[in-house]
Amino acid sequence: MQLREIIAEMNVLEVHGSTAVEVSGISYDARRVLAGDIYVALQREHSDGQAEIELAVSRGAVAVICRKVGALRQRVTRIEVTDTRQAMAEISAVFYGRPGERLHVIGVTGGSGAWKTAHLTKQLLEAAGVKTGLISSLRHEIGERTLPSAHFAEPCDIQRLFAGMVRSGCTACVLELPAISPAYLKGIPVNVLLYQGQEQNLRALSLFLRSRESAPVCGILNIDEEGGRAVANSNFFPLHLSYGLNSAAEVTASEIECGTELSRFSLNLAGNSVACEVPLIGKRNVRHLLGAATAALSMLTPRQVISALSAIKPAPASLEHVPNEHGLSIYIDEASNAQTLTEALSELRGIQRNRILLAFGSAEHSSGKDRFDLGRVAAQFADHVILTSDNPGNENQEQIFSALAQGIESVGRARYHLQADRAQAIRELIAMAEPGDVVLITGKGERTHQIIGSTTVPFSDRAVAVESLQQPIKPNTRRAMTPALCAA
């Protein structure tokens, strides 16, 4: 496709150079530019835009979309715009042929649990025979293919994934949205927006919906949250359905009984009442399922949704149970900050009165305060904690452990020890457990690698836990802290 076709409807400030050039792709990472690509220089806080543009051109970019920059050493067509991310959204829709318009797109936003609701929604649609793609912060799914998601998708990634879904025969897509932004979502159709209510930026939501007045969006609103109730009481959506544990919701659950492997409840789905038993742990996961069931009503009948519930599985690494014959409740969870760890541990404390044994760490780039809060939460709920590594990268592990230990010791309740080797920490934690205990391994979740220094190696919490059940060891729980850790 020629550059002039791609930018025909785009608002540009200036064009320097010829637009009669053939374009074979779009890239926003200068290190991954291929010959024939348009390079979009996104505004980033800690990057040298000029240097990245020069790198992109040296790798074969035929055009650059950027804000105003100085003279370049290499000749290339340059399109200057006000907002490069919005420009990328516009050109991506054109370049990939607007594939999203051939899909029923369900957007899910509103807090750290959005990916869980997105995964459950996809499961329900698939179980009812609707071939559905998934774009989430955890992973992407196109037909039978699963793709890792190292970072959340930019607009051109979303359009490329949409195109792949259309080619594979999908008729629907569940799209996790990190934020609601008219500019970011330009050219991306959203038929249904599931608003979990944990975001309070109602102005952004209002602006987004006003930008979609020609193609109205149906709202799915969590009225357990203040933000969801505020939107439900507004006239933002021309049509909306509410869900939640709140009895006033149109889709709700009552008589909830949460066990260590499943939850039972009575589901009221748009006037249809049915008893349900699903392999989800805790009320929060039940609420995520309610959101998914409500969103699924945009394509399915209530009877189809109820039938699809029998095929539901836990969202990956969301208090995901590891089956065993030792009477232990072992869970893998993605919790990596104080809020998500509080949610996971409070759910487990609510269903289990025996000991909670926890292994966790902190990945690189977290602040000292975040690590302190993480340690504090661990001590408030867990009976024994093992501090271990979690993708520390090039950070000093002793300093990471020290900040976590300060948080634990501020509570003065939980026993803890240090085991920097994550695999050994999981083995020790499981070996400590007795029948009836809860073992929780958090932080990495679905990530199947570990980064220590500049080395990346395969690593799966789940695989190590399964192996540990087969080869138990006797733990050394009296290991002394290092002087630096004790001093903290």
Per-residue pLDDT, averaged over 340-354, amounts to 89
pLDDT at 486 over 60: no
Cα-Cα-Cα-Cα torsion 252, 258, 262, 268, nearest 10 degrees, comes to -20
Sheet containing strand 192-195, strands side by side = 145-148, 139-142, 132-135, 172-176, 104-109, 192-195, 218-222, 240-244, 251-258, 263-269, 272-278
pLDDT value of residue 481: 44
Per-residue pLDDT, averaged over 465-473, amounts to 81
Burial class (CB in 10 A: 0-12, 13-18, 19+), 410: middle
Q: How is the chain split into domains, by residue range?
A: 3-95, 99-311, 320-487
Judge whether 3-95 and 99-311 match in fold. Answer: no
Element (H, E) at 369: helix 368-381
pLDDT value of residue 482: 40
Residue with tokens 């049509």: 239
pLDDT category, 46, cuts 50, 70, 90? low
pLDDT value of residue 401: 95
pLDDT value of residue 71: 63
Per-residue pLDDT, averaged over 163-180, amounts to 93
Q: E strands along 155-215, which residues?
A: 172-176, 192-195
Per-residue pLDDT, averaged over 174-179, amounts to 88
The three-state DSSP-derived secondary structure of 340-351 is HHHHHHHHHHHH
pLDDT value of residue 166: 97
Mean of per-residue pLDDT scores for the chain: 88
Per-residue pLDDT, averaged over 300-322, amounts to 92
Cβ-based neighbour number of residue 370 at 10 Å: 17
- Which tops the pLDDT comparison, 113 or 303? 303
pLDDT value of residue 478: 43
User: What percentage of the chain exceeds 70 in pLDDT?
Assistant: 93
pLDDT value of residue 80: 92
Length of the chain: 488
Is 320-487 assigned to CATH 3.90.190.20? yes
pLDDT at 199 over 70: no
| 61-75, 302-316, 338-352, 397-411: the lowest-pLDDT one | 61-75
pLDDT value of residue 472: 61
Answer whether 228's CB lies under 8 Å from 195's CB: yes
Q: Give the integer Cα–Cα distance in Å for 454 and 190.
A: 40
Q: What is the pLDDT of residues 410-467, one digit of tens each?
A: 998 779 999 999 999 999 999 999 998 999 999 887 777 888 888 888 889 999 999 9
Q: Give the integer Cα–Cα distance in Å for 465 and 426.
A: 6
Q: What is the pLDDT of residues 227-256, one digit of tens each?
A: 899 999 988 898 999 999 998 999 999 999
pLDDT at 3 over 70: yes
CATH fold of 99-311, please?
A: UDP-N-acetylmuramoyl-L-alanine:D-glutamate ligase (3.40.1190)
pLDDT value of residue 185: 83
Cα separations (Å) of 200 from 227, 422, 431? 6, 37, 44
Answer whether 170's CB lies under 8 Å from 143's CB: yes
pLDDT value of residue 42: 87
Query: What is the number of H-type helices and E-type strands within the chain?
Result: 15, 24
102 φψ region: left (φ > 0), alpha (ψ -120 to 50), beta (else):
alpha
Per-residue pLDDT, averaged over 371-383, amounts to 95
One-letter amino acid at 76 equals V
Cα-Cα-Cα-Cα torsion 245, 250, 255, 256, nearest 10 degrees, comes to -50
- Which tops the pLDDT comparison, 182 or 171? 171
Q: What is the pLDDT of residues 11-37, one digit of tens each?
A: 899 999 999 999 999 999 999 999 999
Domain 3-95 class, CATH top level: alpha beta
Per-residue pLDDT, averaged over 137-165, amounts to 86
pLDDT category, 213, cuts 50, 70, 90? confident
